[in-house]
């Protein structure tokens, strides 16, 4: 195969390389090795959702008009006919009802945004729980957190753009949060809105932020995020042959590229399915925004709900000093997300400093092996969930006929009590799981084979995992086999659904076949045959 330069492909390749000198780079890229685990694909789901956002967003810009010029609606949607509204809202209605495929693309755009942030959150949890943020990857953790917040702001700008009843309400809340900042609040708000809310400038500003500034920043940070992964290499699980100094996995081409392409197409397909089948943000049902109207049951998108929940739960404490007032929304609206972000940003550095850990870590940790960190994550997730559920407390109160005040107080008490409880339970769970791993390593796998002794006593046969001299294996930081089938005690299943499609192999000595389960085998078997008895 080498030296053959007469075919079309080799000649084209040679011609390209003569101009681009890219052969070395391409070869290195194609041979780049990626470790394999399902949890490493979570970040890719976010990446492909982002690609889908760019594609569908580009389509939407062709038809969307970010202007608040007052128009009267003359489109096909009868309930809104002849109502005064902004050109932005009218053009969103046009995308939904008149542009061919417009509603599908709009809904896909919205679903992709929700999926993007969901994938980011789950990906961050994976990184945190497995310790993938540790040295040398702290910077990528910081970039990831910035990506989350950028995605958050990008999503907020996006659903504020159609100027429907719901998005105007969200914008009003954002303005209230801005206003609540001591000293500079009113200046910030009037600067952003160009005067009093809602003003005439904000839609245009949101639009340029939504289609140019933030996507540009997002794309740049995504590129930096990926470049850092390429440069620092991917982390891997501690398995046989995996060390701190190597990367074991599949090459980019063909294995990883094929898998990743499959995932990309699946993500695209899922978004198309969601956008095509499940309605999201039906702006025609909300009506055009009127600054004086807030509809009951207004809900932000899921990723904003925790902030909304904080605003709903925080008590109306207003601090009045000599010249300034610090209104209540300042604490849940500005301080809370600020503190959460700072804690997350500082975590890798603080934990390095506290544990005097200056080493490079390329091997991941199982969540159970670092109980305190895992418990901390459970605590954070519980805190977040209580806030998120509280953002829907009016809906829950109405649906289940609970008093809204009771929901608020349940949220307040839950916010203080549930996270410590989650911390305690998770920590105990981790320690128990560790103990069970050690127990299996020390005493062997429970085979489920029950034997009755000559004295009439019952005993279960254990399959030791250690060496023949009876010493237990040391824990290797990876899953301990806990089922007989994991260590080959079970003869391989015969392929075929209704009828076998292959001749069954003779089981190896000691292997159990499915036929042994039948009760006829009860009398046929002899005590503990071919098993290493404990």
Kindly report the CA angle at 373 between 133 and 151, in degrees rounded to 5? 50
452 touches another protein (CB under 8 A): yes
Give the C-alpha separation, 457 to 455, whole Å: 6
CA atoms within 13 Å, Cβ hemisphere of 157? 23
Give the nearest distance from C-beta 217 to another protein in angstroms: 41
User: Based on CB atoms, which residue is closest to another protein, 315 or 453?
Assistant: 453
Give the C-alpha separation, 18 to 21, whole Å: 6
Give the nearest distance from C-beta 458 to another protein in angstroms: 8
For another protein, the binding residue among 3, 7, 79, 456 (CB under 8 A) is 456
Give the nearest distance from C-beta 305 to another protein in angstroms: 24
- Cα-based distances in Å from 149 to 54, 117, 217, 337: 18, 9, 11, 10
455 touches another protein (CB under 8 A): yes
460 touches another protein (CB under 8 A): yes
345 touches another protein (CB under 8 A): no
Give the nearest distance from C-beta 507 to another protein in angstroms: 11
Give the nearest distance from C-beta 413 to another protein in angstroms: 27
The owner of tokens 């639009």 is 207
Give the C-alpha separation, 163 to 173, whole Å: 14
273 touches another protein (CB under 8 A): no
Question: Which x/- pattern, by CB under 8 A, does the window 155-194 give for another protein?
Answer: ----------------------------------------
Q: For the beta carbon of residue 307, count every other beta carbon within 10 angstroms.
A: 23
Give the C-alpha separation, 267 to 260, whole Å: 10
282 touches another protein (CB under 8 A): no
- Could you check whether the bond before residue 254 is cis, i.e. omega within 30 degrees of 0? yes
Give the nearest distance from C-beta 72 to another protein in angstroms: 41
Residues in 497-516 at the binding interface with another protein, rule: CB under 8 A: 508, 512, 514, 516
Binding piece for another protein, criterion CB under 8 A, among 79-87, 241-249, 271-279, 518-526:
518-526
Give the nearest distance from C-beta 293 to another protein in angstroms: 33
User: Based on CB atoms, which residue is closest to another protein, 163 or 449?
Assistant: 449
493 touches another protein (CB under 8 A): yes
458 touches another protein (CB under 8 A): yes
435 touches another protein (CB under 8 A): no
Q: For the beta carbon of residue 184, count every other beta carbon within 10 angstroms.
A: 10
User: Based on CB atoms, which residue is closest to another protein, 79 or 241?
Assistant: 241
| Count of residues touching another protein (by CB under 8 A) | 36
> Backbone phi, then psi, for 477, in 5-degree steps?
75, 15
Binding piece for another protein, criterion CB under 8 A, among 103-111, 254-262, 463-471, 487-495:
487-495
316 touches another protein (CB under 8 A): no
For another protein, the binding residue among 13, 136, 492, 504 (CB under 8 A) is 492
488 touches another protein (CB under 8 A): yes
396 touches another protein (CB under 8 A): no
Kindly report the CA angle at 346 between 342 and 347, in degrees rounded to 5? 115
- Could you check whether the bond before residue 80 is cis, i.e. omega within 30 degrees of 0? no
Q: Which residues contact 532 (CB under 8 A, 6 or more apart)?
A: 463, 464
Give the nearest distance from C-beta 515 to another protein in angstroms: 11
Binding piece for another protein, criterion CB under 8 A, among 99-107, 117-125, 288-296, 453-461:
453-461
Would you give the DSSP letter of residue 38?
G
- Closest CA relative to residue 485, chosen from 515, 516, 445: 445
* Cβ–Cβ under 8 Å, residues 384 and 344: no
- Cα-based distances in Å from 12 to 3, 19, 31, 463: 14, 11, 21, 60
316-325, Cβ contacts within 8 angstroms, sequence gap of 24 or more: 324/182, 324/183, 325/182
Would you give the DSSP letter of residue 461?
E
User: Residues in the site for another protein, rule: CB under 8 A?
Assistant: 446-456, 458, 460, 483-486, 488, 490, 492-493, 508, 512, 514, 516-517, 519-523, 525-529
């Amino acid at each position: 195969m080498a030296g053959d330069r007469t075919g079309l492909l080799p000649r084209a390749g040679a011609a390209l390389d003569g101009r681009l000198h890219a052969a070395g780079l391409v070869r290195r890229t194609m041979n780049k090795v990626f470790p394999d685990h399902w949890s490493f694909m979570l970040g890719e789901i976010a990446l492909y959702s982002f690609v889908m956002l760019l594609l569908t967003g580009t389509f939407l810009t062709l038809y969307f008009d970010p202007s608040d010029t007052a128009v009267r609606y003359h489109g096909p949607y009868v309930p809104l006919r002849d109502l005064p509204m902004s050109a932005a809202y009218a053009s969103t209605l046009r995308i939904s009802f008149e542009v061919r495929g417009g509603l599908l693309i709009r809904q896909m755009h919205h679903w992709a945004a929700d999926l993007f942030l969901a994938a980011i959150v789950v990906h961050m949890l994976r990184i945190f729980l497995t310790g993938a943020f540790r040295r040398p990857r702290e910077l990528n953790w910081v970039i990831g957190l910035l990506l989350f917040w950028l995605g958050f702001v990008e999503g907020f700008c996006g659903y504020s753009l159609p100027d429907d009843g719901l998005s105007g309400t969200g914008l009003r809340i954002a303005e209230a949060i801005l206003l609540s900042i001591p000293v500079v609040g009113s200046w910030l708000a009037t600067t952003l809105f160009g005067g009093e809310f809602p003003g005439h400038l904000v839609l245009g500003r949101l639009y340029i932020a939504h289609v140019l500034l933030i996507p540009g920043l997002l794309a740049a940070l995504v590129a930096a995020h990926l470049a850092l992964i390429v440069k620092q290499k991917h982390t891997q699980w501690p398995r046989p042959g995996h060390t701190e100094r190597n990367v074991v996995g599949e090459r980019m081409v063909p294995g990883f590229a094929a898998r990743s392409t499959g995932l990309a197409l699946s993500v695209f397909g899922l978004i198309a399915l969601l956008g095509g089948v499940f309605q999201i943000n039906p702006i025609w049902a909300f009506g055009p925004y009127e600054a004086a109207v807030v509809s009951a049951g207004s809900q932000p998108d899921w990723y904003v709900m925790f902030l909304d929940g904080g605003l709903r739960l925080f008590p109306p404490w207003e601090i009045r000093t000599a010249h300034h007032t610090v209104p209540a929304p300042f604490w849940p609206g500005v301080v809370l997300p600020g503190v959460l972000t700072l804690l997350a940003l500082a975590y890798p550095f603080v934990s390095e400093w506290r544990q005097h850990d200056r080493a490079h870590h390329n091997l991941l940790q199982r969540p159970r092996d670092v109980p305190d960190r895992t418990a901390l994550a459970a605590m954070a997730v519980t805190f977040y969930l209580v806030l998120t559920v509280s953002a829907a407390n009016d809906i829950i109160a109405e649906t289940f006929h609970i008093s809204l005040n009771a929901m608020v107080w349940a949220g307040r008490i839950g916010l203080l009590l549930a996270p410590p409880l989650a911390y305690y339970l998770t920590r105990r769970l981790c320690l128990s799981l560790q103990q069970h791993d050690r127990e299996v390593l020390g005493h062997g796998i429970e085979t489920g084979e029950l034997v009755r002794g000559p004295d009439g006593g019952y005993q279960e046969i254990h399959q030791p995992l250690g060496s023949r001299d009876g010493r237990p294996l040391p824990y290797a930081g990876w899953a301990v086999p806990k089922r007989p089938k994991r260590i080959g005690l079970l003869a391989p299943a015969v392929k075929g659904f209704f009828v076998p499609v292959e001749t069954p192999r003779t089981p190896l000595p000691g292997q159990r076949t499915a036929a042994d389960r039948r009760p006829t085998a009860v009398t046929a078997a002899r005590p503990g045959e071919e098993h290493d008895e404990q």
